[in-house]
Amino acid sequence: MSVRVYVPTTRTLLRDVLASGVAATEGASAYAVTDAVRSELPDVDEEDREYVASSAAAQASVRLLRPDEPPRRAVLAVDVASVREAQDPDDPARVVLGKVATRQVAALLLDSADAGPSVDAARRAVLDGSGDAALLLELCLDHELGWWAAQEMAALLDEDA
């Protein structure tokens, strides 16, 4: 049985993933439905817990965005044999990965261009250390990430080249 894990990334990092064949390096932080998430959300079904994990990864991707990148959150959905829970009481969905090959990518979750202003405001607030960063990150959740098949990654990145 495999575990679905959500790896925060950016469009620039995705280009590296495609070139290297490595979706995540040893020790990378990612997000998954952990025992801690199940304990915190006992009355929530597994699909909603998956949404919580993918949303956490999407929020983490904002922190990875460089100022010169398009302001769009990106997350790789990967299937791995196992993960190690990070035991982070402030972030119960956070896990630590081993090396993950690109062939293990199941899908790419990506913001559409209309999320740009919200993501850009959150990115700037995070980079500046603004007290509004948490609120602005929360506003990014108003935008749903689109799901794309793994084999569509290169074409999606070429659209913005």
Task: Report the pLDDT value the prediction gives residue 160, as an integer from 0 to 100.
Answer: 61
Task: Report the pLDDT value the prediction gives residue 156, as an integer from 0 to 100.
Answer: 85
What is the rounded distance in angstroms from the CA atom of residue 19 to the CA atom of residue 104? 15
Q: Amino acid identity, residue 83?
A: V
Task: Report the pLDDT value the prediction gives residue 88, as an integer from 0 to 100.
Answer: 86
Q: In what order do the strands lie in the sheet with 94-96?
A: 84-85, 94-96, 29-32, 3-9, 74-80, 105-110, 146-149
State CA 37 to chain mean position distance.
Answer: 16
108-161 tens-digit pLDDT: 999 999 999 999 999 999 999 999 999 999 999 999 999 999 999 988 887 764
Going from N- to C-terminal start, the domains of the chain cover: 3-155
